[in-house]
Structure 1
Amino acid sequence: MPTFTSKKYHPPTLQNTIGARYRRSLSRHPFLLFGLPFIGTILAGSFFLTPVTALRYERHDRKIQRVSQEEAMGLGRNKRKVDLNEEYYRLAAKDLDNWEQKRIERFNGEPDGTL
């Protein structure tokens, strides 16, 4: 006879709890009690998230339409077109040798980084 029995000890007070009954039946029917609820949760989540995602994209589309309506009204009509070569030569024409570093003013109580 073996020294220890292979049967697990379960105190009598814990044998009839919901958790103990679930664990016992989970070993007999794992798909029915674990797999099926898991798959059901995934499917329900996808059906729930579909309208939420649609709302997100509709909101984004409304923003894009607003911008296009502003452009249609002519708000962006007088903007200067930027050319990289032109900007480079415009900045290069400035006198960059005689410049002075200036510190910006800080808010009250904000550290300014000086030691």
Structure 2
Amino acid sequence: MPTFTSKKYLPASAANTVGSRYRSGLSRHPFLLFGLPFIGTILAGSFFLTPATALRYENHDRKVKRVTQEEAMGLGKDRRRVDLNEEYYRLSMKDTDNWEQKRVKRLKGEHDGVL
């Protein structure tokens, strides 16, 4: 019985196609024909998507209005301005030596914490 050769049978028309040449070259140079184009595609996509992402965040920033600290606290223009040093001295002038602890009245059915 004759032995079979290790070569695969390819018809003459299939040997000249781009796909068959790519497949045969892929087994010899896998990184050059598969890895390098893959990494290149990932890097190119990153550079092309960066402006689109920046545009998205710029549009979001236009919608969100920056609020000052006074507006966030709900202070109007007719309210007095708060100065931390002034508040400190105003509170320190109060008589803090003679104070009495008072219990807050609890709601009905709420545990008051008294044993």
Q: TM-score range by the shorter chain?
A: 0.5 to 0.7
Tell me the amino acid that sits aligned with residue 12 of structure 2: P
Deviations 1:63-85 (A, max 9, x none): 102x85xxx7xxxx9xxxxxxxx
Q: Which residue of 1 aligns with 2:41?
A: 41
Deviation at 1:4, TM superposition (A): 3.2
Deviation at 1:39, TM superposition (A): 0.1
1:46 and 1:55 mapped to 2: Cα distance?
15
Deviations 1:23-52 (A, max 9, x none): 111111110010000000000000011111
Q: Which residue of 1 aligns with 2:18?
A: 18
Deviation at 1:3, TM superposition (A): 4.2
Deviation at 1:8, TM superposition (A): 1.1
Larger radius of gyration: 2
5-14 vs 27-36, which moves further:
5-14
Spell out the pairing of 1:1-115 with structure 2 (5 A cutoff): 3-65=3-65
Using structure 2 for the length normalisation, give the TM-score.
0.54
Deviation at 1:2, TM superposition (A): 6.0
1:14 and 1:2 mapped to 2: Cα distance?
26
Using structure 1 for the length normalisation, give the TM-score.
0.54
Deviation at 1:16, TM superposition (A): 0.7
Unpaired runs of 5+ residues, structure 2, are 77-115
Count of aligned residue pairs for this structure pair:
71
Tell me the amino acid that sits aligned with residue 52 of structure 2: V
Identify the structure with the greater helix proportion. Answer: 1
RMSD: 2.5
Specify the SS of the correspondent of 1:32. helix
2:2 and 2:46 mapped to 1: Cα distance?
53
Tell me the amino acid that sits aligned with residue 53 of structure 2: T
2:6 and 2:44 mapped to 1: Cα distance?
41
